[in-house]
Structure 1
């Protein structure tokens, strides 16, 4: 007689065995599925994050997307559907680029397009991409370095695909890595891409028009004149990125810049930057030449620079403001010859806030006619001067200057340019009297000759030197002076300054 409980137990065991077999078969099919070995979306780019809801896509087998040979796409077992193409991002088309090997014959027939819509050239993909499309590049490891010069003429997003590192774009000899000529009002976004350039003839990234935004980027432009060159109609936004160069990092003339959390390492300081600087009207380019590397060269430009670290350079930051002004905040400069050089621009003002400059020859130089405000900055261990003004209408307030030949020098406008910039033409003053610099509420300590020097001499004559020196705290030991105004026949107004005949312990 059959036992019902025994039959029930056997039935349950049978169901369990069938379930385990089904799971094992599913696992076997999954492990054998060629689409399971695709790159992941581990790299933290915005494009990859947008694709996360679709994970795991695209269903493209690298074996028939890379070598110029494409077997017939397999069919899914479930539902009999072929693998889908790349999904859209935010309603826009997506193109995949793999710069790995492809057969030239097939490549030439496709004009840069590999099997099933996979491109082997970023430039070819950008040429046919619809507006606002996303181009995803397989990085080295799954793909290869893309050796090409990319030209973008419309709004796109270009990002790294996968989690093994950044996609790499290396410029051919004599060409830029990327040239952007975007319609005004549109933008190109690059996320998680590395650029390499060794061409002296061209910048690594050239922005001719439109807005270019780079995030999580690396730029290795050693040997190039500029890593970035922004022309009049261009706008550059650079975030969370690093630039390595022998010459200069970013150059913009009458452009707009938004730089935030950027590191610029300059290996050499003697390479010429080839800057023919504009004068007060920002039109006449015969204003002087910088012989040496420049971290940021922002001529008559607008926008903001925030939390940028620059190591080395003949000039860390050269800045003249456009109409709406230029703001430098939390800029850190180590071992430049001249930390910040402020030149006259258009109607705007250059604002320097909380800069940190260490071990420079001259911390900050303000040329005549350069409307500027310098506040909350710390300048230490300068070989010559902390801050020098040449009759400029500058407001210098609440700064700390410790360790220099002269902490602050107030010189006549006619004495510009200083000896380190011998080819600068004399920069014309704005019409009328700008009142001279206002130096107020600063701490100046441990200067070797004088905390403040006021000197109106030039060419064997005394020149009118306006300005105010008020409410400053000055430290000078027995070998130096608090205020040296021996050569000032038309005295700057000096009031309520505190002089302590001792050295200041530094750091506190």
Structure 2
């Protein structure tokens, strides 16, 4: 080769990089997705410009997915990978994309984009994160999702929550994952319109739902948590015209959960009959229930319940149930506390307004009701059927009777004809202790003690002391005419005037 030819070849090679740099950048297929601004812990770590990583079939440990999903036939990735979250891979779902084979679509960079959440859940390795493009950027995902292993499902994009709508007669989500593992739902809305099944069913494992919503109008239950399941709800809203959350022999942790019940005509079928947590005989509440916890343990902190035949039905497991700063409005019965196992139902700083009965405590139920405010009850603020209950430092204003102490044999009242209450431990529990309460502006009696049941009078123990009572004529402060063995009444203050409320 001559010297002149060598120089010309070298000149062409040296110009090539400059030509490549001058080419315009290719348009990214996800440029139209806005940055994520919904408070999801999962999706904030996913960049909108990166495709989904390659899936190793050996990761599908809870289902033999390798034969059904041959990864080796997929196009080879040529673009960068979507960054993993906490060291685990991330999958993208866009229900608005044209349906590909087995619900998958490959973009121009070889990235895998699923068009079905359920297909992504079956394909994903354990502890992966599934990000769903919300309506506006994608479409509503109309499907029933079945999760068999630990996953995170979250919204992707900044235009609102992703939406999963259940087909007719199917649940929105069914979780059956190994005990000890968990499914995390972050920033997703579920919609169900069928009466045949709950919107979300937790058969086993732990389900964590944050920043999410459930619209379950027409279903028996928005959530149904079966034995040994765990449910954690944080900053969630449930709208229903039936019943919202049901758990039996389960663990729950609810924080800032708002439940709106539009109607109360649907009957809530429960396993409670004899409420000893061992008998499977069914009981029925003739109307909707906001939160039904049967022989369960855990807590509810904050949040509100509007409407329903019963706002909260609580029967404690071994470790008890605690309700703190909960608001209940316009329920026929704000809270119904039934006997369970050896745990105590604790109610602290509840606010119950405009109910027929504020709180009803069945015989044999161990409970503590303190620091709560119960106002504008059509019938009674608190009714205790001879239970071992501490009723202390509460404010009860505007009711027919502020507090009723009734014989255990008088349970159930006509509003709950299906239920009978059986204490776990036989014997005399000493009766209710009612102390340091403010009861005001009653129409009949501030405190009514009535031991009648079944045509005769029964023994009714308990203590009534240190309470401040306001009762204008013809109402009375304490009515104990029907108690042969009187509850010990000590040092209560009776005011024959109206109490100005609020302060």
Q: TM-score range by the shorter chain?
A: 0.7 to 0.9
Q: Which residue does the alignment assign to 1:70?
A: none
Number of residues paired by the alignment? 459
Question: Which among 79, 102, 107 is matched to residue 111 of structure 1?
Answer: 102
**8 A contact 1:382–1:403 mirrored in 2:** yes
Is 1:467 the counterpart of 2:462? The answer is yes
> Is residue 50 of structure 2 the alignment partner of residue 58 of structure 1?
yes
Could you list the per-position Cα deviations for residues 307-359 of structure 1 after superposition, in whole angstroms to 9, with x for gaps in the alignment?
12011000000000000000011110111100000000001000000010001
Unaligned ranges ≥5, structure 2: 1-17, 53-76
Q: Which residue of 2 aligns with 1:18?
A: none
Rounded Cα–Cα distance in structure 2 between residues aligned with 1:446 and 1:187: 50
Counterpart-to-counterpart distance in 2, 1:438 and 1:41: 54
What CA distance in whole angstroms lies between the structure 2 residues aligned with 1:287 and 1:437?
A: 28
Q: Is the counterpart of residue 86 in structure 1 residue 82 in structure 2? A: yes
Q: Is the 8 Å Cα contact of residues 465 and 491 (structure 2) preserved in structure 1?
A: yes
Question: Is the deviation greater in 268-277 or in 344-353?
Answer: 268-277
Q: 1:56 to 1:425 in 2, by over 3 A?
A: closer
**2:395 is matched with which residue?**
400
1:375-414 aligned within 5 A: 375-414=370-409
Q: CA deviation at 1:286?
A: 2.3
Counterpart of 1:295 in structure 2 is 290
- Deviations for 1:21-58, whole angstroms, at most 9, x for unmatched residues? x9xx98x946955553334222221112233xxx4532
Is the contact made by 2:270 and 2:282 (CA closer than 8 Å) also made in structure 1?
A: no
Q: Does 1:183 align with 2:174?
A: no
Question: What SS does the aligned partner of 1:430 have?
Answer: coil
Partners of 1:356 and 1:426 in 2: CA distance: 26
Q: Once superposed, what is the RMSD of the aligned Cα atoms?
A: 2.1
Shift of 1:455: 0.5
TM-score normalised to structure 2 length: 0.88
- 1:232 is paired with a residue whose SS is coil
1:122 matches 2:102: no
Match of 2:136 among 121, 141, 150: 141
Cα pair distance change 1:33/1:282, threshold 3 Å: closer
Deviation at residue 428 of structure 1 after TM alignment:
5.0
Given candidates 411, 419, 422, the residue that maps to 1:416 is 411
Equivalent in the alignment of 2:5: none
Alignment partner for residue 223 of structure 2, among 220, 225, 228?
228
Confirm or deny that 1:205 pairs with 2:200: yes
Residue 118 of structure 1 and its aligned partner are, at CA, apart by 1.2
Name the CA distance, whole Å, in 2 between partners of 1:31 and 1:173.
43
Q: Distance in 2 between matches of 1:210 and 1:232?
A: 10
Task: Tell me by how many angstroms 1:98 deviates.
Answer: 1.0
Question: Is the CA contact 1:309–1:332 (under 8 Å) kept in the aligned structure 2?
Answer: yes
Q: Does 1:261 align with 2:256?
A: yes
Distance 1:206 1:272 in 2: 19
